[in-house]
Amino acid sequence: MNKRYTISVFTENFIGILSRITLIFTRRGINIDGFTASESREEGIYRITIVVHTTEEQIIQLSKQIEKIIDVIKAFYYLDDEMVFQEIALYKIPIDNIDSGLERVIRQHNARIISAEKDFVVVEMTGHKEETQELLEVLKDFNVLEFVRSGRVAVAKPMETIDKYL
Amino acid sequence: MNDSQIRGAEIVIKSLVAENARYIFGYPGGAIMPVYDALYDYMDHIQHILTRHEQGAIHAAQGYARVSGHVGVCMATSGPGATNLITGMADALIDSTPLVCITGQVASHLLGTDAFQETDVVGISMPATKWNIQVRKVEEIAPAIAKGFHIARSGRPGPVLIDITKDAQTAMGEFNYVPCLNIRSYRPYPKVEESIIAKAAKLINEANRPYVLFGQGVVLGKAEKALQDFLDKSGIPAACTLLGTGAISEDHPNYVGKLGMHGNYGPNLLTNQCDVLIAVGMRFDDRVTGDVKRYAKQAKVIHLELDPAEIDKNVKCEVAVLGDCRISLEKLTEKVDRKSHEEWIAAFRKLEAEEKRVVVGNDLSPTKVGLTMGEVIRHINEFKADDAILVTDVGQHQMVAWRYFEYKTTRTQVTSGGLGTMGFALPAALGAQLHDYNRQVICVVGDGGIQMTFQELGTIMQTKAPVKVVLLNNNFLGMVRQWQQLFFDKRYSFTELDNPDFIKIADAYNFKVQKVDVRGDLRQAVAEMFVHEGPYFLEVVVEKEDNVFPMIASGSSVEEVRLS
């Protein structure tokens, strides 16, 4: 049965590591739903967060194949309820369409306006995909010019840190 | 610049010398020229073998690595030189062969500009290497080579590519070689766990029909003796994969034969009758398992394996014994009961007799007019030494030679297993021979495959490597033709070959040549081949449309192995 999994990969900062990781998915015809890379708590160690829809059997194999990459320190996989995660979304709305309704929408969704230009404002919201998607539906009345959503950032609930694998 | 500084190109060579590399198999070109220039001063320290094509260079390095157990080294220029190595890298990756490939690259300021002979070889080779790196600075050359050798030879071995820009080769730097012994993100040898060994031993001791399958992991892990001791004590019958062949002598009383699509009858059939399956250093390739949904479902599987990614990949196991199989086998041998499984082994022998009656007899001692591939191998067995190395290409001849060659010792089998690379044999045989000029190296090859890397006859000529080439010529791409006959209504679509006069070609390359097309001349010709001291080319014209049996048709179960 397909479920949504998040793979958390800890790697050395090595050119080409992202390609090597994504090749594992491409080769097996698995679509990557989200991909985020950043530094981790440890200096020099990078953390990549990948979201995929797949089976448990497949996610185990994917994690092992990722760990097999020389410069990968460790790969963990989690179901949604095993992580705390967040995504960020930006919505660009033309100034002409704005009325008092926008304030209500922003309050209701815990969103905020982070920039106001002559012709448009930019609304920002953080949350789960379902939540930022819901705001997008609502904001369609205001004629959203641009929409973008980040990949997932996530921390695991189990109290394990990467130190023990170094 | 101080006096102790040398060019990056010289650092490349000195690093290879520091790693005790004996040979570089290579081909020069623009972007690697500084390294070739440096090589000119090191001809007494390291030998360069100039092949006729980069693919020949990498297959030769593979042949050398497989027989010697050392890392094979090959070198090529950028662009086409580098891309010509790719097939060999893919082959070495799937067959776990340790290689360090060094390619020249355009100068770093030209990277990404579509410069002459620029190709993104690091990108292209990524899925075909265990690790790769582009080096753009002189001070990074030696550490990259050190890391490359460590990665290539440790754990599950594999090919590594080091791409060095031309400006890094010409820049000056210090040479201070520090071998790489540890990489924090890389743990090549998982520790064998005692509790797991105990679990595995318990399963084995309770089994009535245990069955060992062994693969190349036994050879790579130098576990030949450990396997033999385990079999001696446990009394368990054992069968080998294509690349595991020779890890124990075929004369061993527990040895029951070969696995896979064209392996032996009993070993395939009885896979579905054992109660505990002990897989040692093998990866359940689909050519071994047939339909995996109907593979050994009745059995509890114990998998001794170094690479964690192989566990449960194709066949789910009850007990995963991760780690070096030599250590695991030694520990298991201590814990297993001394037994003999006479009745169970007799079941294999019974099916072996049936295979002999239906297939082997006709292959080895045919009564029909046309010559068979099998009888050629029979005569080779008659004259070969116990430690003779058999190098084969891919196709019918490969399967027949594998089935009938008498393997007595380890590292005597060199073939392209996982990738099935036609054209592999001739250059690989050269590499195998260069490891030891005094060993017999027999290169059995088909008329299709030999023409893919025919040019390497030139390298054999130049090195005077006394390779014995045995061309089994049926003027067909025989294995594809066999499938066309069996599964495509005999529609022989582009499998028949109009071949050149092979003898004239081999003669032009200074081989001693002989062609046989009647049975009466065969034995004498093989005998003469083994007596001759230099390179020898024996062409045997064999029956055009013979098939290889037994066979497990694609998608069939191991128990559906057919004898005809």
What amino acid is encoded at B314 in this protein? N
Residue from the list B122, B127, B151 with its beta carbon closest to the beta carbon of A23: B127
Task: Check if B348 is active-site.
Answer: no
Coil/strand/helix, residue A37? strand
Q: One of B14, B130, B147, B166 is an active-site residue; which one?
A: B166
pLDDT in tens, B36-89: 999 999 999 999 999 999 999 999 999 999 999 999 999 999 999 999 999 999
Give the model's pLDDT for residue A162: 83
Q: Check CB contact under 8 Å for B134 and A20.
A: no
Looking at residue B2, its pLDDT comes to 63
Q: How far is CA B325 from the centre of its chain?
A: 19
| Minimum-distance CB partner of B185 among A12, A19, A65 | A12
Interface of B with A in 142-161 (CB under 8 A): 151
A28 and chain B in contact, CB less than 8 A: no
Give the pLDDT confidence of B466-480 residue by residue, as tens digits.
999 999 999 999 999
Query: Tokens 């002559």 map to which residue?
Result: A118
pLDDT single digits (tens) B524-546: 999 999 999 999 999 999 999 99
Could you tell me the two tokens for B59? 């297959």
Verify whether the Cβ–Cβ distance B185 to A68 is below 8 Å.
no
Please tell me the predicted confidence (pLDDT) of residue B562.
96
The beta-carbon neighbor of A65 closest among B122, B123, B309 is: B309
- Collapse the DSSP code of A143 into the 3-class scheme (helix H, G, I; strand E, B; otherwise coil) and give the result: coil
Q: Is B364 in a helix, a strand, or coil?
A: helix
Longest dimension (CA), chain A: 56
B293 labelled catalytic: no
Q: Reply yes or no on whether B545 is catalytic.
A: no
Please tell me the predicted confidence (pLDDT) of residue B3.
Answer: 74
- What does the domain layout of chain A look like in residue ranges? 3-83+154-165, 86-149
Cα–Cα distance measured from residue B9 to residue B16, given in angstroms and rounded to the nearest whole number: 11
Cα–Cα distance for residue pair B303/B480, rounded to 1 Å: 33
How far B253 CA lies from chain A's nearest CA (Å)?
38
**Contact, B308 vs B294, CB < 8 A?**
no
Domains of chain B plus CATH, in order, are 6-173 (3.40.50.970), 194-345 (3.40.50.1220), 369-541 (3.40.50.970)
Question: Each residue of B314-334: pLDDT tens digit?
Answer: 999 999 999 999 999 999 999
Identical fold at A3-83+154-165 and A86-149? Answer: yes
CA dist B122 and B101 (Å) reads: 11
Q: Is B521 within 8 Å of chain A by CB?
A: no
The H-assigned helical ranges of B159-285 are 166-170, 194-206, 216-220, 224-234, 265-269
User: Residue B528 catalytic?
Assistant: no
Does B202 contact chain A (CB < 8 Å)? no
Assess contact for B172 and B7: CB atoms under 8 A. Answer: yes
Domain A3-83+154-165 has CATH 3.30.70.260: yes
Selecting among B117, B273, B455, B485, the annotated active-site residue is: B117
Q: What string of pLDDT tens digits covers the 564 residues of chain B?
A: 567 899 999 999 999 999 999 999 999 999 999 999 999 999 999 999 999 999 999 999 999 999 999 999 999 999 999 999 999 999 999 999 999 999 999 999 999 999 999 999 999 999 999 999 999 999 999 999 999 999 999 999 999 999 999 999 999 999 999 999 999 999 999 999 999 999 999 999 999 999 999 999 999 999 999 999 999 999 999 999 999 999 999 999 999 999 999 999 999 999 999 999 999 999 999 999 999 999 999 999 999 999 999 999 999 999 999 999 999 999 999 999 999 999 999 999 999 999 999 999 999 999 999 999 999 999 999 999 999 999 999 999 999 999 999 999 999 999 999 999 999 999 999 999 999 999 999 999 999 999 999 999 999 999 999 999 999 999 999 999 999 999 999 999 999 999 999 999 999 999 999 999 999 999 999 999 999 999 999 999 999 999 999 999 999 999 999 999
The CA distance from B445 to B453, in Å, is 11
| 1.20.1250.20, 3.30.420.10, 3.30.70.1150, 3.40.190.150: CATH of A86-149 | 3.30.70.1150
Pair type for strands B47-50 and B99-105: unpaired
> Count of alpha carbons within 13 Å of B528, Cβ hemisphere only?
13
Q: Does A72 touch chain B (CB under 8 A)?
A: yes
